[in-house]
Every structure is written in structure tokens, then in C-alpha cells.
Amino acid sequence: MAHRRSPRSSLRLSLRVEPGTRVRLADIDPSDSHGREKGGSALELARGLERLRDLQERLWAEHRHKVLVVLQGIDAAGKGGTIEHVMGAMNPAGCPVTSFNVPNKTEQAHDYLWRVHRRAPASGEIAIFDRSHYEDVLVVRVHGLVPRKRWERRYDQINAWERMLAEEGTTIVKLFLWIDRDEQRQRIEARYQDPAKRWKFRLGDLEERKRWDDYIVAFEDVLTRCSTDWAPWYVIPANRKWFRNLAVAEILADTLEELNPQYPQPEDLPSALVVE
């Protein structure tokens, strides 16, 4: 199936953190829609998801490429919503989702990358990380769970690990969902007020919110120090959920299109098929 590319400039280029760039989130408008309009967003997203669905099916069938999608963001940034509304368009057989919560005792007995490496994508897969190895330079840093000297060296370790994955054939896409403090407050309040969403609410969310400034500094360091040619970060303005979904779908589809996955041609087919 052929897909027409958008005539607009690629969001991949405008949202990508260029390696070596110092990121200041205060300079990035989390409500910026980059010229897109909500009125036509539903149709545009539907077309983008159709394109993404087709490309993922071909990638799964070809069973050659591996893709890792990392989703990070402060609490209530919309990681779950992004998985539901964008990644949900793809065949779950080829798109395993892993949520990295507090490590259990077995995971704590290993190095911090052990549990993450086990969930890296196999050939044909698009592995989706809801949070990731970056928690070990975010939560660990903000809460002082390990000494500074220890988490400081993890930036280089993470870059080296991601480079190894890339050199072994994994395409890495890292998406930081950027919302402002007011938007987070509204979303936390909405969780509490809505009976269907209240299960997501935790009192700990309020305690984490008090550390907003510390988290922003930690995220800025992650975006600055770990956006590389082999594993770039993209900062997604996520105050507007409709734009967040459009941007993520377009970035992923553009990435898969560059891989140019093709349906495999079976060998030794009979000249005619007779099914009895």
C-alpha cells in the first residue's frame, strides 16, 4: 500500500534534539502545535495510523529490523495515552510494551540495565518502553537513591549500551512528552475527579509534584547528554493531546519508512495451489 507523505516539513526534524545541543525546557512551548490545527487532526491522525499500521505489518512480516521506542515524561505527561492512541494501531504480537516500575528484588540483585536489556526488541519487533533505563538517572537522582558519583557515570554507560544496540541493528526512537506544571495539575485533578480514572491516582503523585524543579533539571540533563546520532531524543509538546498523538505517529511512521520493510517473497512455491 502506498502512502502520500505530508507536504509539511517533517516533525522529526523540528522536534529532534540535535546531539551536542543544550536543552532548556523553558524555551520549548509545550502547547506548540507546529502549524497543525485541531480541526483536521482526527483525519490526519487516522491517515497517519493507517500508514503506521501498514509499515509495522511489513516490518513484522519481514522479520529483519528491530525498533526500540522509549517513552519518558513527568507524571501525567501522557505515556499511557500515547500507547493507547498511537501504538494501539499496531499488531500487539509484534509490539510488546514494557512498563518499568520500581525494580523487584531479583532486578535489584543485577545491574540497572539487566532488566531493560531483557526487554529489548527481537527481529521484527517494535518494543515500547513505558519509562525505561532513564529512570536510573531521573528518579534515582532526584530521590538520592545512589551517590552522585554513581548516577553521573550512567549517562556514558547508557549511551554506550544504546550504541551497542544500534550497531547490532536496533533503531532507537526516544520520545520525551513535555507538559507544563499547570497542565500536570489539571490532569492530576482530573484523575481524582473521574471515577473511571481515579485508580490511576496515587498520593505519591502529589509528593513527586513537589519535586517538579528537580525533575526538570534531571530531564534537561538526560536530553542534553543522551541525544546521540544513533539514539536521538525528540521533545514532543504534549499539552495538546491531539498534537502529541499526531507527532508521535508521524515520527514513528517516518522512522519505519526509512527502514523500507518489505513483505518477504516465499521460496519454493508450487506453480499451482490445490487445497483438498
Q: What is the pLDDT along the chain (276 residues), one digit of tens a residue?
A: 444 444 345 899 999 999 999 999 999 999 999 999 999 999 999 999 999 999 999 999 999 999 999 999 999 999 999 999 999 999 999 999 999 999 999 999 999 999 999 999 999 999 999 999 999 999 999 999 999 999 999 999 999 999 999 999 999 999 999 999 999 999 999 999 999 888 888 888 899 999 999 999 999 999 999 999 999 999 999 999 999 999 999 999 999 999 999 999 887 777 787 788
Which residues, listed in sequence order, are joined to residue 177 by a DSSP beta bridge? Answer: 73, 236
Domain membership of residue 8 (yes or no) is: no
267: in domain: no
Query: How would you classify the pairing of strands 126-130 and 233-237?
Result: unpaired
Q: Does a structural domain hold residue 191?
A: yes
> Does residue 230 sit within a domain?
yes
* Exposure letters 29-42 (e unless 16+ CB within 10 A, then b): ebebbeebeeeebe
Which stretches within 127-179 are classed as H helix? 139-142, 148-152, 154-167
Q: Provide the whole-model pTM.
A: 0.94
Write out the residue range of the structural domain in which residue 241 sits: 24-259
> What CATH number does residue 86 fall under?
3.40.50.300
Residue 14 lies in a domain: no
269 falls within a domain:
no
Angstrom distance (rounded) from CA 77 to CA 67: 23
Residue 104 dihedral angles phi and psi, to the nearest 5°: -80, 180
Residue 52 lies in a domain: yes
Grid coordinates representing 126? 517494535
Q: In total, how many domains does the chain have? A: 1
Residue 157 belongs to some domain of the structure? yes
